[in-house]
Structure 1
């Protein structure tokens, strides 16, 4: 895939994550080939760090740090010899933003996860935001903010093979073990989960295996993966995040919710985009159908992650999760 095609394929994901579309277009216009992706996006991120250093108020500096975190994260999505550095810089920039905006935000980490807990200490409910295969806790600002605005405490996390842990860990299919460790660290009696892309599988698997999950939302999550049918870029990414081809094949073979879906007893909202068609990926409709309390939201014009259709699902999903976690049982 050339630089122009790769950039076009990631446009709605970038704008959905909050990257300025004009700056995005200027940045990709300077790419001679795709191998320059990481360098170009890290350069854009450093531009926002420089703006933060010149800012006259804390709120402006924090905004620039948040923008830097987004750009550093997107620097990890394409070819980048400094991918681990970019992920670490994204984590650092977001931390600096929250130090200014939300001094009460807490870093919480364990052997298989890291993240920040935001929101009121006396929140009536806690939600965990779970990223996907090549995403991380710095990508889904709008999802986090939608939950915070509804009064929830929100833990945005990186798990094995994700975000800040990419360089030191590999993906694992038994994600309920990770979710259980997160809940223990948070000291919560119950939590809600929202997972995006492969994070949707992680959330469904977590809801099937961890009884303290009170409600869950999946967004563009796979029901099943077929390794042989997956496009080469997806297979390459799985190889990278799993630590080798054999491990990637095993992992893909484990991503199958056929037997787990009937074990999900909590309320479950499954969201798919009608334009999200990836060979080798079965989307979420069977999950919603097989789960005893599953609901299905299909957005016909939505693409993968539905970055082109945020108003059609995000407010409703945030309302639904908040209601399930705080309303009468």
Structure 2
């Protein structure tokens, strides 16, 4: 794949993550190969760190640090020898930004997880954001903001093999154990889960097997994977995150929700993009159909993670979590049109 093709493929994901689309184009237009991706994105991130140091106000410094975190994270999407350092830099930049912008934010870490808890001290509910194969807590800041705006607390995490933990751990299929430890650390009776991409499978599995999950949503989550049909770049990334090709093949073979979907008793929203077609991936419609309280939202023109269709799913997902965790109803629930 050429640098131009790779940049085009990541375009909506990057814009959905919050980077300026014009700057994205300026950075990616200068790439001569995919190998240049990581270094170029990391350089852009470091420029924002320098701007933060010279900022005239703490507000501006915090904004620059959040932008740096996004660019450092996106640097890890292509093969890059310094990917682990970029993930660590993204983690540090996000932490510094939250310390400035939200002094009440708390870092929580335990066996197989780390992340930031944001929101009110006495929230109406708490939502855990679960990243996917190559995503991380720095990628979904707009989703966190939408949930925070609805009075919820948000714990955006990296789990085993994800984000800043990718250098020291590998992906685990038993993600419900991680979710259980997160709920213990949060000290709340129940949580909502949102899983993005492969995180959708983690979240659905957690909802099926961890009884303290009171609401769940998935975005571009797989119902089933077929290792033999997965594109080579996906298999390569999975091998890196699992500790080898054999472990990745075994992991992929466990990604199947046919037996677990009927056990998800919490309200479930499944969001898919109609243009999200990846060989070897069965998308989420069967999950919504088999779960007792599943709802399916398909956006026909949406791609993977639906970065090109944010207004058509993100508010509905945030409302779904808020309603399920607080019991609140809206005019839409009392007779409005069903959005599908």
Tell me if both proteins adopt one fold, taking TM over 0.5 as the criterion: yes
Alignment of 1:57-96 (within 5 A): 57-96=57-96
Q: How large is the RMSD of aligned CA atoms in angstroms?
A: 0.9
Q: Residue 204 of structure 1 contacts residue 264 of structure 1 at CA under 8 Å; is this kept in 2?
A: yes
Task: Please name the residue that 1:246 is paired with.
Answer: 246
5 Å-filtered alignment, 1:90-239, equals: 90-239=90-239
Equivalent residues of 1:46, 1:68 under 8 A apart: yes
User: TM-score under structure 1 normalisation?
Assistant: 0.99
- What is the Cα deviation at residue 67 of structure 1? 0.0
Deviations 1:119-156 (A, max 9, x none): 00100100000001000000001100000010101000
Deviations 1:290-320 (A, max 9, x none): 0001010011010000000000000011011
Q: Counterparts of 1:26-65 in structure 2 under 5 Å?
A: 26-65=26-65
Q: What is the rounded CA distance, in whole Å, between the counterparts of 1:251 and 1:5 in structure 2? A: 29
Q: Offset at 1:328?
A: 6.2
Number of aligned pairs? 329
The alignment partner of 1:10 has SS state of: helix
SS in 2 for 1:116: strand
CA contact under 8 A between 1:274 and 1:300: conserved in structure 2?
Answer: yes
Q: In the alignment, is residue 19 of structure 1 matched against residue 19 of structure 2? A: yes
1:79, distance to aligned residue in structure 2 (A): 2.0
1:123–1:153 contact (8 Å) kept in structure 2: yes
Task: Return the alpha-carbon distance in structure 2 between the equivalents of residues 179 and 90 of structure 1.
Answer: 23
CA contact (8 A) 1:175 1:205 kept: yes
Distance, in Å, in 1 between the alignment partners of 2:177 and 2:253 is 18
* Distance (Å, rounded) in 1 between the aligned partners of 2:225 and 2:299: 21
Could you tell me the TM-score, scaled by structure 2's length?
A: 0.96
Deviations 1:57-102 (A, max 9, x none): 1000000000000000000111211001000000000011001100
Indicate conservation of the 8 Å contact 1:36/1:79, yes or no.
no
Q: Distance in 1 between matches of 2:295 and 2:151?
A: 24
**8 Å Cα contact 1:114/1:159 also seen in 2:** yes
- Structure 2: which 5+ residue stretches go unaligned? 330-340
Contact 1:84–1:167 under 8 Å retained in 2: yes
SS at match of 1:4: helix
SS at match of 1:70: helix
Residues of 2 paired with 1:47 and 1:215: CA distance?
Answer: 40
Judge conservation of contact 2:322–2:328 (CA < 8 Å) in 1.
no
Q: Secondary structure at the match of 1:133?
A: coil
For residues 255-311 of structure 1, the C-alpha deviation after alignment (integer angstroms, 9 at most, x for no partner) is 000100011111100000000000000000000000001010011010000000000
Q: Which residue of 2 aligns with 1:8?
A: 8
Distance 2:129 2:317 in 1: 13
Q: Cα offset for 1:29?
A: 1.3
Which digits, 9 at most, give the CA deviation of each residue in 1:216-267, with x for residues without a partner? 0000000000000111111111111100011000000000001000111111
Any gaps of 5 or more consecutive residues in structure 1?
A: none
